[in-house]
Amino acid sequence: MSKIETILLATDGSPASEGASDEAIDLAIQVGARLLVVSVLGGAGSRPAGSTLEAAGPADSRDSLTTKAQALAQRAKAAGCDATFLVWDGDPGEAIVAAADSENADLIVVGSHGRSGVSRFLIGSVSDFVVRHAHCPVMVVRGRLEAARR
């Protein structure tokens, strides 16, 4: 296995993405990798309601996403990790894959609500898109609430 030098954490700053954030920070520290926190600001209608790692909706401005991503990068730095952040525009899945390619990420960490079946089909899944289209390994971390219910 090749060395992991850059980990891209795709996050929307929601409580559902906290598990992925924690895992990405811990892993970056353990392997000495740079952590790149990426949030996506999508256009109107680009986000199915209620799912993690989706583009920010009208309530989430660029400033709000920037503040959340910056705070997460600061949290990672305080834990001893080399961390930076970016806010991308566009479709969430496509933007995450493009950011990973652009930044030469060795691993993408994304969260998932853990939905399955019809619910997942109707809602859509950014994590599924990223897994299918990324050019590097992807770690999908199930949200804490969903994991606790099982």
pLDDT at 35 over 80: yes
| 100 domain residue, yes or no | yes
Mean pLDDT of 18-43: 94
Q: What is the pLDDT of residues 3-17, one digit of tens each?
A: 999 999 999 888 778
Answer yes or no: is 17 within a domain: no
In a domain, 60, yes or no: yes
From the centroid of its chain, how far is CA 37?
7
Domain assignment of residue 92, yes or no: yes
Domain count, the chain: 1
Assigned domain for 14 exists = no
Strand 34-41 to strand 6-10: parallel, antiparallel, or no bridges (unpaired)? parallel
In terms of pLDDT, which residue wins out, 94 or 55? Answer: 94
pTM above 0.85, yes or no: no
What is the reported pLDDT for 42? 83
CATH number for position 54:
3.40.50.620
